[in-house]
């Protein structure tokens, strides 16, 4: 069992265990020792971050830990998470690090790791790193201490890679696009790229102050973006999260489309062009049953994984698939990227708008979703509400009621202290009763 690592690195409230400067230093030393090659040569790590105030603290602490083991550190500054995966490979680094808590509020932060291939680490690698953190790491000799250097053009390199994933002749002339950058890592990159491609760009969430990332903006709070699309008569809205690895879309009528609809569009389009590897899309257990039915109707299959984009990527790599993602908006295109890339997915959606001449509202209605209800219950770290007999009884009752009519998924979030209760059923009254019964039972146990 991993103690520090969740579904996407180490994450928590800044200055509260495990997200302290001391722990970041220890993590840096441990991961530096884990990745440093025993033979000679340059030992290099790239570090990116989003716009949280605590990012400065963790950047310095990680740099200290990594250089203490002989790693040379290349500081990218604020860049999207997929840029770190890209730069890890392109700069021939042993390791990539992203300091971000993704869609979480500003008081949280996290540390994500990429291997030399640009892909996120496996569970087994994280367990080995945890063992090194617990045991302690012997520092390098004084003459072998690493150096640190700032890289000033990381976001430009990333931007060129994004544009290279599109046809050379692709332009966005005449398209009015609202881009919500969540006051996060893509606040400069995303509007610049859209403008360079010829779009009429209306940017929001582009004034980070260290404390407003994801606040009232971004993929988890799209209300401002919806209002902006409607007020400006925009053709489409693109909402990123704090580290720009996920995206949701807003059509010209102000309706939100999630990752399932985006994946449905890309999968069927790629299949028609004979470039969907393996005839399948990879997604998680959270994806809507309507997506699975839509794919089957087109002769395609849906490969389901545990929740977490890195589990999606692991299945993609193992099965030779090149398209996957999550309902939450992580879209992974391994022909071009090593992890979820919200801006890249948004650009490929715009490319399909321009190619087909169809509106966003048409393209984001690929299938009729089966009614799905997700509710979250926050608990205190250390509590075990799912082990309570009253909760187990409520779950059993809901499973019995949904038997043959729908499905139920209850899990602890890997990134926040939340119990997530999700059910899917075409009988909406039964759907609500099933979820409410479990949520009420969990809430009662937490409050006791």
Q: What is the DSSP letter of 386?
A: G
Cα–Cα distance between 146 and 140 in angstroms, integer? 9
**Cβ neighbours, 10 Å, residue 6:** 17
Integer CA distances (angstroms), 294 to 263, 301, 399, 443, in order: 11, 9, 25, 36
Euclidean distance between the first and the last CA atom of the chain, given in angstroms as a whole number = 28
Tokens of 109: 């932060």
What Rg do the C-alpha atoms of the chain give, in angstroms? 22
Tell me the backbone φ, ψ of residue 129, rounded to 5 degrees: -65, -40
Check: CB of residue 415 under 8 Å from CB of residue 7.
Answer: yes
Tell me the backbone φ, ψ of residue 291, rounded to 5 degrees: -65, -45
Q: Which of 54, 102, 287, 328 is catalytic?
A: 102
Q: Strand 72-78 and strand 44-49: pairing?
A: parallel
Cα–Cα distance between 134 and 1 in angstroms, integer? 14
Scanning the structure block, which residue is given the tokens 């979030």?
Answer: 413
Q: For the chain, how many residues are written?
A: 448
**Cβ neighbours, 10 Å, residue 430:** 17
Residue 124 bears catalytic tag: no
Tokens of 429: 């009254």
- DSSP string spanning 273-304? TT-SGGGEEEEETTS-HHHHHHHHHTT-EEEE
Q: Strand 280-284 and strand 148-150: pairing?
A: unpaired
Q: Which residues are catalytic?
A: 102
């Amino acid at each position: 069992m991993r103690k520090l690592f969740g579904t996407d690195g180490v994450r928590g409230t800044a200055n509260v265990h495990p997200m302290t400067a001391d722990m970041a230093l220890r993590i840096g030393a441990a991961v530096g020792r884990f990745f440093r090659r025993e033979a000679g040569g340059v030992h290099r790590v790239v570090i990116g971050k989003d716009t949280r105030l605590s990012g400065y603290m963790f950047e310095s602490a990680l740099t200290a830990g990594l250089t203490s083991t002989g790693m040379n550190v290349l500081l990218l500054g604020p860049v999207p998470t997929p840029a770190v995966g890209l730069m890890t490979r392109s700069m021939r680094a042993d390791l990539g690090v992203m300091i971000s808590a993704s869609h979480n509020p500003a008081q949280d932060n996290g540390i994500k790791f990429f291997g030399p291939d640009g892909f996120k680490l496996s569970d087994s690698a994280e367990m080995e790193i945890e063992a090194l953190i617990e045991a302690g790491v012997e520092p390098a000799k004084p003459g072998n201490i690493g150096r640190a250097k700032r890289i000033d053009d990381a976001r430009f390199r990333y931007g060129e890679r994004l544009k290279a994933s599109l046809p050379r002749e692709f332009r966005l002339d005449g398209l009015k696009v609202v881009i919500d950058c969540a006051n996060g890592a893509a606040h400069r990159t995303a509007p610049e790229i859209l403008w360079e491609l010829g779009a009429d760009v209306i940017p929001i969430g582009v004034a980070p102050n260290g404390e407003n990332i994801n606040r009232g903006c971004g993929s988890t709070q799209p209300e401002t973006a919806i209002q902006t699309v409607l007020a400006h008569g925009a053709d489409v809205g693109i909402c990123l999260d704090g580290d720009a690895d996920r995206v949701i879309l807003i059509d010209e009528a102000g309706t939100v489309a999630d990752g399932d609809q985006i994946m449905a569009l890309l999968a069927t389009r790629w299949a028609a062009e004979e470039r969907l590897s393996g005839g399948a899309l990879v997604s998680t257990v959270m994806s809507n049953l309507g997506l699975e039915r839509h794919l089957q109707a087109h002769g395609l299959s849906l490969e389901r994984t545990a929740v977490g984009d890195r589990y999606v990527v692991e299945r993609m790599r193992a099965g030779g698939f090149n398209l996957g993602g999550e309902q939450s908006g992580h879209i992974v295109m391994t022909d071009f990227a090593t992890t979820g890339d919200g801006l890249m997915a948004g650009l490929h959606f715009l490319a399909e708008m321009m190619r087909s001449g169809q509106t966003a509202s048409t393209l984001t209605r690929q299938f009729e979703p089966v009614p799905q209800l997700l509710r979250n219950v926050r608990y205190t770290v250390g509590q075990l509400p799912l082990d309570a007999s009253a909760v187990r009884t409520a779950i059993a009752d809901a499973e019995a009621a949904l038997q043959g009519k729908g499905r139920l998924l209850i899990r602890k979030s890997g990134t926040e202290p939340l119990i997530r209760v999700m059910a899917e059923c075409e009988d909406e009254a039964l759907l609500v009763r099933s979820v409410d019964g479990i949520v009420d039972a969990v809430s009662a146990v937490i409050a006791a």
